[in-house]
């Protein structure tokens, strides 16, 4: 009887307090492992203990590198011999370069001359070339794909020349990877000018050669076919110049 006295005293003391206090304070005979498991559950549900799922990394798209990484000097893309042949009495055989902030991506050059024979008539010629290089870009495609997409646009741009008449297009065989010849007429300075333009794609580079002329003071107007033959010659030289600049 004397050994159970302390336990009986505790039971009577707990009976004299509110139920909530009994639950909180009268637990000396309960198993302490329950409290430990409770604290473990709480920590397991803690935001700091739970790991947040990480978003999967998006793979970086890859494209083939551009074959050509630079352009030749546009004024040297057509040989001096061809310039003299196509543009008689050329004013500046070295050509007049166009402005470019990035000569490895774009360039242009132009030549003109007047073979003046007085009352016997005169022949005027203008030759120009433009070069556009496209770099590979993961978000835009490879350099070749970009050049292919813009090739059609360049042809359309030539065909849309303001005031152009009698527009004709045809493939220019044997020039670059793909090439289109565009011929048309244009009235300027009171004379009928004939134009021959060739748009060429060679890998990731676009080349546009434009050659035109007129006869003054009764001189014979050049034929579109003659102009086109000369434009093809200039275009082939430009294609070769691009390849040589990247060796």
Contact 158, 199 (CB under 8 A): yes
Tokens of 244: 């040589």
Contact 196, 231 (CB under 8 A): yes
pLDDT digits (tens, 9 = 90+) for 100-127: 999 999 999 999 999 998 888 999 999 9
What is the span of the domain harbouring residue 164?
Answer: 74-245
Query: Are 89 and 28 in a shared domain?
Result: no
Q: Region 239-246: what's the mean pLDDT?
A: 98
Task: Label residue 218 by pLDDT band (50, 70, 90).
Answer: confident
Query: Are 19 and 86 in a shared domain?
Result: no
- What span, in angstroms and rounded, lies between the C-alpha atoms of 163 and 242? 32
Q: Is residue 56 part of a domain?
A: no
Does residue 30 surpass a pLDDT of 70?
no
The count of C-alpha atoms lying within 13 angstroms of the C-alpha of 34, restricted to the half-sphere facing its C-beta, is 5
Q: Region 212-235: what's the mean pLDDT?
A: 95
pLDDT digits (tens, 9 = 90+) for 141-192: 999 999 999 999 999 999 999 999 999 999 999 999 999 999 999 999 889 9
Tokens of 95: 């050509």
Collapsing DSSP states into helix, strand and coil, what is residue 102? coil
Query: Are 93 and 213 in a shared domain?
Result: yes
Beta bridge partners of 183: 168, 196
Does residue 3 surpass a pLDDT of 70?
no
Residue with tokens 């433009």: 130
Q: Is residue 91 part of a domain?
A: yes
- What span, in angstroms and rounded, lies between the C-alpha atoms of 28 and 18? 17
Query: Are 95 and 38 in a shared domain?
Result: no
Query: Are 36 and 100 in a shared domain?
Result: no
Q: How many domains does the chain have?
A: 2
- pLDDT value, residue 22: 35
Question: Which has the closest alpha carbon to 232: 193, 181, 185?
Answer: 181
Question: What CATH number corresponds to the domain at position 201?
Answer: 3.40.1000
Q: Region 198-225: what's the mean pLDDT?
A: 95
Q: Is residue 139 part of a domain?
A: yes
Q: Is residue 192 part of a domain?
A: yes
- pLDDT value, residue 67: 97
Does residue 33 surpass a pLDDT of 70?
no
Q: State the CB neighbour count (10 A cutoff) for residue 127.
A: 25
Contact 128, 111 (CB under 8 A): yes
The count of C-alpha atoms lying within 13 angstroms of the C-alpha of 58, restricted to the half-sphere facing its C-beta, is 3
Does residue 211 surpass a pLDDT of 60?
yes
Query: Are 115 and 17 in a shared domain?
Result: no
Query: Are 123 and 217 in a shared domain?
Result: yes
- What span, in angstroms and rounded, lies between the C-alpha atoms of 152 and 147? 9
- What span, in angstroms and rounded, lies between the C-alpha atoms of 31 and 43? 20
């Amino acid at each position: 009887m004397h050994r159970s006295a302390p336990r009986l005293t505790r039971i009577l003391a707990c009976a004299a307090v509110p139920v909530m206090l009994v639950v909180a304070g009268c637990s000396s005979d309960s198993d302490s492992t329950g409290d430990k498991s409770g604290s473990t559950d709480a920590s397991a549900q803690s935001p700091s203990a739970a790991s947040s799922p990480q978003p999967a990394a998006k793979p970086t798209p890859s494209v083939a590198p551009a074959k050509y990484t630079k352009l030749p000097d546009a004024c040297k893309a057509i040989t001096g011999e061809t310039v003299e042949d196509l543009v008689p009495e050329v004013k500046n055989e070295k050509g007049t370069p166009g402005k470019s902030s990035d000569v490895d991506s774009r360039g242009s050059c132009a030549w003109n001359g007047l073979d003046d024979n007085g009352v016997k008539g005169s022949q005027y010629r203008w030759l120009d070339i433009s070069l556009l290089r496209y770099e590979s870009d993961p978000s835009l495609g490879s350099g070749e794909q970009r050049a292919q997409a813009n090739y059609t646009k360049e042809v359309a741009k030539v065909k849309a020349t303001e005031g152009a008449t009698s527009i004709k297009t045809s493939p220019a065989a044997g020039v670059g990877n793909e090439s289109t010849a565009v011929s048309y007429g244009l009235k300027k300075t009171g004379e009928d000018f004939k134009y021959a333009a060739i748009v060429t794609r060679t890998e990731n580079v676009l080349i546009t050669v434009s050659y035109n002329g007129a006869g003054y003071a009764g001189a014979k107007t050049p034929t579109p076919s003659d102009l086109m033959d000369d434009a093809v010659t200039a275009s082939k030289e430009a294609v070769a110049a691009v390849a040589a600049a990247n060796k």
